[in-house]
Structure formats: C-alpha cells, structure tokens
Amino acid sequence: MIRVNLLPQRVSRRQEAVRQELILAGIGAVLLVVVLGGLHVAHAARVNAVRAKNAEISADIERKKEIVAEVDDMEKLKAEYERKLSVIRKLKANKTGPVHMLDELSQATPEKLQLLNLSEKGGRVELTGIAVSNEVISQFLSNLEQSTYFEDVYLNAIDQTEKEGVKLKNFSITARLVVPGGDRPPSDGAGADAKKKK
C-alpha cells in the first residue's frame, strides 16, 4: 500500500495564506499612511494659507490704524487753527468795534439832538442827551434800532427842561452793543424793565 504524506503541503498553504494576508495588510498600511500623509499635507497647506491671509489682514489693519491716527491728528490741528482764527477775528472786531460804534452813533444822531454822555460797560451802552422835541428823540431811537451795532434799544426817561428860555427834552437811553464778528455780550433784563416803564 502507498502512503502519501500531505502534512507539509497543508503547512505550506497556510504559510502562503498568511504571507498573502501580511502582504495585503502591508499594502493597506502603506496606502493608509500615504492617504493620511496627503491629508496632513493638504491640511497644513490650508492652515498656512489661512495664516498668510490673517497676517495680510493684520498688516492691513495696522496700516489703516496709522491712517486713522493721521486723520485724527489733522482734525485736531484743523480745530486748533479754526479756534485761533476765531480768536483773531474776535480781537479784530473788538478792536475796531468802538470806532464803528461812534460812527454809527454819529450817523444816527438827528440835527436837533445833542448827546451829553455816553458810557459802555459789559456791552451795555447808556446814552443821555437833550433834544428839541419828542419826535426827534423818537427818530434817534428808530435810527439806533436800524443799526447793526445796537440791539435792545430802550428809552428810559424823558424830562422837560428849559435852557436860555428854550424848552428842551432831557432823555436817557440804554442799548446793547453788538460788534459784528465779535463776542455778543449777554442780554440782561434791564432793558426789558426800562421798556415796561416807557
């Protein structure tokens, strides 16, 4: 009888199957490493692109902050120059104001009226004088009200007087001096009280 020993063939088939499984597992592992490596490289590239974009945006923000700071400095300088120009204009107006006020008074004074006293304090002007009639005083008041240098013009009092046999009218007037381009002094209630007395 012939005997065949099949044991080594079975062992070699098992070894072959194990070898093939190991080869497939190795190939799978290599493919997995390649895929994971590719994903890592792609992710790293994306992260680098985002970082570069962030750096560009940050640089742009810094440039814009510098521009805003320059604009703020220019606005401050402009405001300072405007304030200085305003002060210069007011000083100029206040310097020429009294001369113009006297000129306005001269033009507003009718022929038959004479000013005896003029005082100005804090923008409040007080005038006293004499006139030949109430109509002349009324004309003087109207002329003062039309002037750009006087506001709140009020007649305080009129008294009858006689000088060298001629009957005259003593009068007292208050007004608020307004210098165009200069400071406007605050209005007080004295003029309104005077108007009530009138």
Instruction: Give me the domains of the chain, ranges plus CATH numbers.
Output: 12-198 (3.30.1360.100)
Q: What tens-digit pLDDT sequence spans the chain (198 residues)?
A: 565 555 555 557 778 888 888 898 889 889 999 999 999 999 999 999 999 999 999 999 999 999 999 999 999 989 988 888 877 777 665 565 567 778 888 888 888 888 888 888 877 889 999 998 899 989 999 998 888 888 888 988 888 888 888 888 899 999 988 876 555 544 444 444 444 333
Alpha helix stretches (DSSP H) within the chain: 7-108, 134-146, 190-197
State residue 190's pLDDT score: 42
Radius of gyration of the chain (CA): 52
| CB atoms inside a 10 Å sphere around CB 45 | 10
H or E segment to which residue 153 belongs: strand 150-163
DSSP-derived pairing of the beta strands 166-177 and 113-121: unpaired
| CB atoms inside a 10 Å sphere around CB 87 | 10
State residue 181's pLDDT score: 56
State residue 31's pLDDT score: 92
The answer to whether the beta carbons of residues 97 and 154 sit under 8 Å apart is: no
State residue 197's pLDDT score: 39
